[in-house]
Amino acid sequence: MLNFPNSFFEREVRDGFVVGETMKRYWSGEMEVLAQIDRVCKKHGLRYYLYFGTLLGAVRHKGFIPWDDDLDIALLHEDYIKFMEIARSELPEGFIVKNAYTMYEHRDFFTRVENATAIRFDDDNMKEFHDCPFVAGVDVFPLYNAPRDKNEREIQRNLLRSVAHASRLCEEKETDLLAKELVELSQITGYEFDESCALITHLTRLFDQLSRLYTKEECDCVTDFYMDLIKPYEIPRSLYEKEVTMPFEGFEFPVPEGYDYILKCSFKDYMVPKIYENHHYPSYKEQVKLWGDRLELYDVALKQNNDNVNLIVPEKANCDVSFSEAKEELPEDWLNTIYYDDEGGNKKAKKVLLYYTGATEVINHSGNVIQKIRENLEVFKSQDEVVIWWAPCLIDNLKLLNLNKVIPETVRDFGELIESFKTEKTGILDDTGNMTRAFKYASAYYGDPSLFSDYYLQTKRPVMYQNYREVAK
């Protein structure tokens, strides 16, 4: 087990980019998977190297690229095949090896090794993976032999283009065009598309098998054929013959001796950091989303001791709620915050904005979430004509889900922010879980995408989502 200092898991700014606690936990989980792959490779005399963005991170940042969150390694074709043969029996129990030969449905042209099949909060898993509950893994790429003969190289490329095109047709469900393509591929390659696995998996297998056609004796260069189809990509095999080690988040891992040439082929001026928008970042957000709706219902149900919550979404908002009606159901300080006396002494309601910050986004954006919420509350404080009705995810909820282990700094700061807002009384702090009441009084929604924002859209009320990437430096 890797030994990380406690300071590693703290929120920090790297090259102008905020890396939160959740991401640090995820990084550590991925590195534990890499450590197991490293153990297996050393045991069997296999050579692997940090690859692509991970190699760039090692050289430029001595660790992860701050705005990246995956781990890539590569093995030369011969070692890759051997690793695939032994991985499932040599890796720890519970690890999953995912590729076109182990899964019924698989579309990636590489292998992924993961530490589990689902989010786990049990003590053993949390201890082993440094309080990272998410499925974490490493992408393992094969570096295939590129034939020395240019004519054979082009023939192989054209075959792979045809398979890649068929895969796209399969994904897009272009059945007529696909059927014709499959007949041609079967005639040319002799491959049989039977029912032993999904069609997309067959195509991924065929891509792999066509990539394996040549031995190292028949080549001077290696390639990643998936990249090669986008733009010619060949690396002299000699650059991978020797390895050197480089620091990566405080540990040493192997990189190819020819890393400078390799990185220039992929990134050109690779030592100049360029923050790019990654739509899959953070990569664990899909895992969070699977139970995100449940987290939101916990927010409602926790105070009510009821797991089966039926939310009532009223068509009318606060401008239609009379003072006398509101007086029957709102606390006095909330009533006085929303209603005021006009010049004629009549009770009028201010516009009320529901501000919802959900547990899902607290987890996904632990680096920026506190700063973003703090900035928003300051803006709302200056808007005299609008009342902010803040419904934060419940701190009890975060602790109930063991998230105080995963993001302790964020949970602490979030709690302090709630208490500060409650003390200042610059708006309504609703920690009751009674969202039906919030729907009734708030005429617009701002905050995180959620079940609750969906209800506002259904009733054609204004909805705006906050962007955690946009925070003051």
Residues 6+ positions from 429 with CB-CB distance below 8 Å: 390, 392, 418, 421, 422
Of the listed ranges 35-44, 239-248, 310-319, the least confidently predicted one is 310-319
Q: What is the mean pLDDT of residues 405-412?
A: 88
Q: Could you name the CATH architecture of 286-465?
A: 3-Layer(aba) Sandwich (3.40)
Phi, then psi, of 349 in degrees rounded to 5? -100, 135
185 vs 311, which has greater pLDDT?
185
Cross-sheet strand order for the sheet of 428-429: 428-429, 386-392, 351-357, 444-447, 463-465
The residue behind tokens 């009890």 is 396
- The pLDDT value recorded for residue 472 is 54
pLDDT band at 377 (very low <50, low <70, confident <90, very high): very high
pLDDT band at 111 (very low <50, low <70, confident <90, very high): very high
pLDDT band at 337 (very low <50, low <70, confident <90, very high): very high
Ranges 145-159, 319-333, 360-374, 459-473, most confident = 145-159
Q: What is the mean pLDDT of residues 386-393?
A: 91
Residue pair 407/9 in contact (Cβ under 8 Å)? The answer is no
User: 3-state class of 298 per DSSP?
Assistant: helix
* 152 DSSP 8-state letter: H
- The pLDDT value recorded for residue 146 is 96
Q: What is the mean pLDDT of residues 170-189?
A: 95
Round to whole Å and give the CA distance between 324 and 314. Answer: 18
- The pLDDT value recorded for residue 432 is 81
pLDDT band at 360 (very low <50, low <70, confident <90, very high): confident
Predicted model pTM: 0.86
- The pLDDT value recorded for residue 313 is 53
Q: Which residues of 74-92 are buried (b: 16+ CB within 10 A; e: fewer)?
A: bbbbbbbeebbeebeebbe
- The pLDDT value recorded for residue 459 is 85
- The pLDDT value recorded for residue 300 is 47
Q: What is the mean pLDDT of residues 131-160?
A: 96
Per-residue model confidence as pLDDT tens digits over 206-221 = 999 999 999 999 999 9
The structural domains of the chain, with segments of one domain joined by +, span 6-280, 286-465
Per-residue model confidence as pLDDT tens digits over 277-331 = 766 788 888 887 766 555 555 444 444 444 444 445 555 555 578 899 899 989 9
Q: What is the mean pLDDT of residues 70-98?
A: 97
Round to whole Å and give the CA distance between 120 and 42. Answer: 29
The residue behind tokens 């919030």 is 438
Q: What is the mean pLDDT of residues 16-35?
A: 95
Of the listed ranges 227-236, 356-365, 374-383, the least confidently predicted one is 356-365
Q: What is the mean pLDDT of residues 388-398?
A: 78
pLDDT above 80 (res 38): yes
Per-residue model confidence as pLDDT tens digits over 427-458 = 999 988 778 888 889 999 999 988 888 889 98
- The pLDDT value recorded for residue 452 is 84
On average, the pLDDT of the chain sits at 89
- The pLDDT value recorded for residue 301 is 46
